[in-house]
Amino acid sequence: MGLLLIPLLISSMSTFLFDCAVFGPVTSRRFGSSLGVNLLSTTSKVCNFDCIYCECGSSSTRGVGPKFAALNHVVDSLEQTLSGFALQCRSVDYITFAGNGEPTLHPHFEQIVDKVIYLKEKLMPGAKVAVLSNATTLHKSSVVRALQRVDKRVLKLDAGNEDTFQCIDRPLGGTTLSKVCHTLKNVFNGDLSIQSMFLRGTVNGHRIDNTKESEVKAWIERLIEIGPSEVMLYSLDRDPPMDTLEKVPGEELKAIARQLHHHGLLSTVST
């Protein structure tokens, strides 16, 4: 277990940041045994969303040091970790780009993906590579090319109504739900997974609840247009950064999943 890298807990009880470029493996609700790759700063979140539920805390707080991990540092860290695992005959199910923000913002994202795939093939060919993304950088051809090469593209869609999207995901820089859905529909021809966070609570005096019938109906309509291969439903796991947010019980998530099934959409529920 000498290679188990534990995320450093910083800043507050309910938010945390990964303190290295390669972390885990962690047992993920959605990816089994997963080795994480963090391309972002280790002292603050780097993201163009500011989701109310983000476990990394606020997007407006900048820490010290560079915003992005150096390409060589990521590659060397992963090679060292995978080599150590190979020596111990250990393996993981996934190598997952996640970490302290939006991985596709990294200026060398495509090159890093290529090198991670190369290392994976060389040292742990049974593992798959996944990327978690908020889908806001799909206008960049380099990002699309990189996402087309990985085994699993998991893209965020937390709402079907514009107002709810703005309240939950709080995009910086004018991104709209319509723009995100347009690219989700047109870029991968349905060869993508969608992940959706369900929650409710009060934020700045506004009641937010994306489990309401009208909200779920609008979200399903968006999904029918996008046509993903899979929809991953989940709710809060650790304590959220705001204690006014509530976790949605698994039975409610399963009821939403049944509605997806009725429309021919495959889904998984993490409880």
Question: To the nearest whole angstrom, how small is the minimum distance from the Cβ of residue 52 to ligand SF4?
Answer: 9
CB-nearer residue toward ligand SF4: 40 or 256: 40
Handedness of CA 62, 65, 68, 69 (dihedral sign): negative
Q: Three-state DSSP class for 40? A: strand
Helices first, then strands: H and E counts in the chain: 7, 11
Ordered alpha helix ranges (H), 35-175: 71-87, 109-123, 141-149, 162-169
CB of 168 vs ligand SF4, minimal distance in Å: 9
Q: Which of 24, 25, 101, 228 is close enough to bind ligand SF4 by CB under 6 A?
A: 101
232 binds ligand SF4 (CB under 6 A): no
Q: Per CB under 6 A, which of residues 34..63 are in contact with ligand SF4? A: 47, 49-51, 54, 56, 59
Tell me the two tokens of residue 79. 């090679």
Q: Whole-number minimum distance, CB 197 to ligand SF4, in Å?
A: 8
* Site mask for ligand SF4 (CB under 6 A), range 103-142, x = bound: -------------------------------x--------
Shortest distance (Å) from residue 121 CB to ligand SF4: 28
Helix (H, G, I), strand (E, B) or coil at 132: strand
Query: If 0-12 CB within 10 Å is exposed, 13-18 middle and 19+ buried, where does residue 251 land?
Result: exposed
In the complex with ligand SF4, which residue's Cβ is closer, 54 or 199?
54
The CA distance from 57 to 229, in Å, is: 30
Interface residues toward ligand SF4, by CB under 6 A: 47, 49-51, 54, 56, 59, 101-102, 134
